[in-house]
A and B are shown apart, each in its own frame.
Chain A
Amino acid sequence: MFESKEALLKRLSDGVVDMEEEDVIEASKEYIEAGYEAFDGIMQGLVDGMNKASVLYDEEEYFVTDVLLCSDAMYEGLNILRPHLPAEEADKAKVKGVIGVVEGDTHDIGKNLVKIMLETAGFEMIDLGRDVPLDSFVSKAKEVGADFVCLSTLMTTTMGGMKTVVDRLKEEGLRDKIKVLIGGGPISQKYCDTIGADGYSSNAVEAVKLAKKLLVTA
C-alpha cells in the first residue's frame, strides 16, 4: 500500500527543509514506485522544500551551512526523480546561466549558494567552479548559449577580473545577448555600475530576484 501523493510530497518537502538526505532518498523512491508524476515530486516536493529553506535563510533562521545541507538533500531527490521526467519536460528549454568564482579566488561558498537558489528557481546553471580563468566564462557562455553570467569574488584583489569578463563579452559581440550579474564581499552596486555589469545582489535570495527581473521570467 502506497502513501498518498500529498503525504509523499510533504515528506519530500520536509526532508529537504530538515536536511534529512536519507528520508528524501526513501520518499523519492516510494514516490516513483507509487507511479506519481516526477515533475510534481520535483516542484511540489523538493523545490517546495528548498523554497521554504530559502525563506528561512532570508529570515535568518537558517544559515549558509543549513542551506547547503538542504540542497544536498534536494539534489539526492532530484537524482532519483529526474530520470522519470517525461521527455518534453526534461528537454524543456530553461534560461541558462554560467556561474563561477573569478580567477585568483577560491572562496566558493557564496557562489554555491547562489547556484542552488537559481537552480531551485528554475534556471539551468553551468557551474565553472572556483578560481576560474576569465576567458573560460566567455568561452563557456558562448559554447552553451548562456543567457547570463554570474561572477563572484570575496577579494578586492580579484574583483578587477569581473570588468575583464564584461569587456571580453563586449569584444566578442555578446554583451547585448548575455546579462552579467555580480556579487561577493567587496562588491557593491557602485562597482557594478562602474564596470558596466547588469546587476549586483548582496545575497543569494536577492540574486534570484535580480535574475528574474533581468531575464524576465515568471
Chain B
Amino acid sequence: MSITDFNCTYNNGAGVNEEIVQKTKLKFPDAYKNWEDMAALAKEIKNHEDASFCTLPFCHTLEGEALGAVINYGDERIGPRGKDYLTSSIEDLLSISELDFSKGRLAEVLKACSYLRQEGENVALYISGPFTILNLLIDLRYVFKAFKKSPEVMEKTLEKLRVELLRFIREAQNMGVNIFSYGDSSGGLNILGPKLSEQIVEMFTYPLLKEAQQIITEDSIMLLCPKTSFALIGTNKAKWKNVELAESMKYDKACVSMIGKAKFLGEMCIKNKNYILKDRIIKSIELI
C-alpha cells in the first residue's frame, strides 16, 4: 500500500467573519490573546456556523509561539501567523523550551477551553503537527536538509515535539477539551514526497497517536486531518472501520456522537461541519 494525498482546499485561513466581528464588538487582535474574548468569539463562531462544538484557537501558531516563534497577531481580517523564525540553526531546535501551560496565549487558550466546557459546550482544540510547528521556528528548508544531512538531530527534535504535544493533550483534556483536532498540513505528501512521509509516520505520527490513544479518555475523541489519516492507512499503521450512526446527521454532530465509541475519526476535514452523512455511516480509524 502507499500513501494517497488528500487535496486540501485550505479553506482554513485565520481571520473572522465580518458579521461575527460586528456582533461581538470584540477588538482585534486582542480577541486572539485573552481567554474571555476567545471564549466569546469561539461561542459566537459556533452559533454562526450552527456547529456542535466550539473550536480554539483561531490559528495554527499556538504551539510554535509557546516554543519561541515570533507571531504577527494580525487583525480580524487576517489572523495570527508567523512573523520571525526563532533560529536558522537546526541544532538550536534541540534546546527549545518546554511548553509552559501557565503563561502566555497557551494559558489563555486553556482557560477559555475550561470556561466553555463548564458552560456545557463541546470544546475542540487544534493540535499542530511537527512541520506546522517547525515552520514557525525555522525555515523548513533547513529541516528538509537536516533530514538528509543530520537525521539524528531531526530524530531528537521530533522526539521532543512528540513529548511536548502529549503533555499538551493531557493538560488540555484536564482543562475540559473533549475533541482534539490533529493536523499537519505543512507536512503533507505533496511537500515531503512518499519516502519522507513514510518516515514521519514511523518516527512521529504513529508513536504520537499510539500514546495519545492511552491519554484520550472515554469522554474525548481525536479528529485527524485526512492528510494524516491517509498517511496512517497508506503505511498500514491504521485501518478504517465503518460505524453506523443512529440517524443521518451533519459531520460535526456525528463526531460528537462518536465520543466514547472511537478514539480517532478522520475521513474528512473538521471544517466540513455541515456535510450530511446521508448513509448513516461514519468511519473511525483504528491504529494497528
Point out residues on A near B: beta carbons under 8 Å.
Answer: 19, 62-66, 68-69, 72, 103-107, 109, 112, 131, 154-158, 185-186
Contact = CB atoms under 8 A, between A and B. Distances in A.
A109 B186 CA distance: 9
Contacts of A154: 10
B102 interface: no
B191 A157 contact: no
B190 A107 contact: no
A185 B9 CA distance: 7
Contacts of A72: 141, 145
Interface in B17-45: none
Interface string B143-156: 01101100000000
B242 interface: no
6 contacts: A63-B192, A104-B77, A109-B140, A131-B72, A131-B82, A158-B13
Contact of A64 (B9, B10, B193, B194): B193
Interface residues of B, number: 29
Interface of B: 8-15, 72, 74, 77-78, 81-83, 135, 140-141, 144-145, 147-148, 186, 190-194, 196
Q: Per DSSP, are chain A's interface residues mostly helix, strand or loop, or mixed?
A: loop
B127 to A, nearest CB: 19
A106 B140 CA distance: 12
B133 to A, nearest CB: 13
A134 to B, nearest CB: 11
B9 A186 contact: yes
A27 to B, nearest CB: 18
B193 A106 contact: no
Contact of B135 (A62, A69, A106, A112): A106
A131 B141 contact: no
Nearest to A104: B78
B131 to A, nearest CB: 10
A19 B186 contact: no
Contacts of A106: 81-82, 135
Contact of B13 (A68, A109, A155): A155
A62 B190 CA distance: 11
A157 B16 CA distance: 10
A118 B70 CA distance: 31
B191 A63 contact: yes
A185 B83 CA distance: 21
A182 to B, nearest CB: 15
A157 B15 contact: yes
A66 B147 CA distance: 11
A12 to B, nearest CB: 19
A64 B190 contact: yes
Nearest to B12: A155
B158 to A, nearest CB: 15
B81 A69 contact: no
A105 B10 CA distance: 11
Contacts of A109: 140, 186, 191
A105 B13 contact: yes
Given A107-B186, A185-B10, A157 B78 contact: yes
B193 A65 contact: yes
Contacts of A68: 141, 144-145
Given A106-B82, A131-B81, 10 more contacts: A19-B148, A63-B190, A64-B192, A65-B192, A68-B141, A69-B145, A72-B141, A104-B15, A109-B191, A157-B13
Nearest to B75: A104
A160 to B, nearest CB: 10
A157 B271 CA distance: 14
A157 B77 CA distance: 8
B192 A157 contact: no
Closest 4 CB pairs of A and B: A157-B13, A63-B193, A104-B78, A155-B13
B193 A66 contact: yes
Nearest to B13: A157
A186 B12 CA distance: 11
A103 B83 CA distance: 11
B129 to A, nearest CB: 15
B77 to A, nearest CB: 8
A204 B89 CA distance: 27
Given A156-B10, A157-B15, A105 B81 contact: yes
Contacts of A112: 141
Contacts of A63: 190-194, 196
Nearest to B83: A131
A156 B11 contact: yes
B198 to A, nearest CB: 12
Nearest to A185: B10
B81 A104 contact: yes
